[in-house]
Amino acid sequence: MNIENYFKNLTTELESLKDRVRLYIEDAHWQSDGEWKESVLRTILKRHLPKNIGVGRGFIVNVEQATTQIDILLYDNSKPILFQDGDFIIITPDAAKGVIEVKTKLWQQDDLRNAINKISEIAQFINTTSAYGKDQFFELFSYEESPFNTDSVLGILQDCVNGQKQRIVNCISLGKNYFVRYWPTPPYGQFPKWHAYQLENKAPAYFVHNAVDHLCPQWASDNNDVWYPEDGKENYKIGEINLPKPDQIT
């Protein structure tokens, strides 16, 4: 079994599908192009997640307010759904299992900051109204690489989360190679932190597999040797940052 090549193949699949709509309509309707890219990633996630976790898009609401629109919304299929039409859903915070913001490319640092802030605000909304925060997953996915260095990405991430565990973004994937993961108990370390990695043609696959890992941790642990490449990713770490200093964590 060659998991390394499977990861690269999954990245190639996403690359080949992402522009399928744009090749036909070019710049006639950017919203349709964006919706297609979101649906591609939703389809990949559906292949791997168990049936008790739904994959859709929509909103999370409580009695006082609603989140902004969520590109990919993972939810507990055993919970009632307030509204559903196809893959569009409206659910309560206790039914949420994960939130993913999908971008074609993040061009400026303000774009990255705004995207991370959006996810962090949704995470905070869920975690202050629900007891299920530790079981939920919050991610940012960009199909194309961004012109940011590692210090910039990690610094913006740390600023947006602001030491608050209820605002944590678990993973970021930028293009084919760049991946960030949050470690509540880091390898070779003591305090919660994010690690950044340079993973040749494997970042999107690690993104998908870490989402499943977080939502199905016991299964992923039991089957680690068929779920991740043998050499892992710590050998490819290019940076790290704390959440933030231990005495500032809330």
Nearest to 88 by CA among 110, 55, 123: 55
pLDDT at 37: 83
Q: Let me know the angle formed at the C-alpha of 71 by 221 and 201, rounded to the nearest 5 degrees.
A: 55
pLDDT at 132: 43
Element (H, E) at 181: strand 178-183
Six-digit token string for 125: 């909304």
Contacts of residues 113-116 at CB distance under 8 Å and 24 or more positions apart, as own/partner, are 113/156, 113/159, 113/160, 115/140, 116/140, 116/156, 116/157, 116/160, 116/161, 116/169, 116/172
Return the CA Rg of the chain. Answer: 17
| pTM, 2 dp | 0.90
Nearest to 117 by CA among 101, 95, 96, 135: 101
Domain enclosing residue 135, as ranges: 3-248
Task: Calculate the CA 50 to chain-centre distance.
Answer: 17
Domain tally, the chain: 1
Q: H helices within 26-142, ranges in order?
A: 30-48, 109-127
pLDDT at 238: 97
Q: How far apart are CA 89 and CA 156, in angstroms?
A: 31
Six-digit token string for 181: 């993961």
**Per-residue tens of pLDDT for the chain, all 250 residues:** 788 999 999 999 888 777 655 555 456 545 666 677 888 899 999 999 999 999 999 999 999 999 999 999 999 999 999 999 999 999 999 999 999 999 988 999 999 999 999 999 999 999 876 554 457 899 999 999 999 999 999 999 999 999 998 999 999 999 999 999 999 887 777 789 999 999 999 999 999 999 999 999 999 999 999 999 998 899 999 999 998 754 555 5
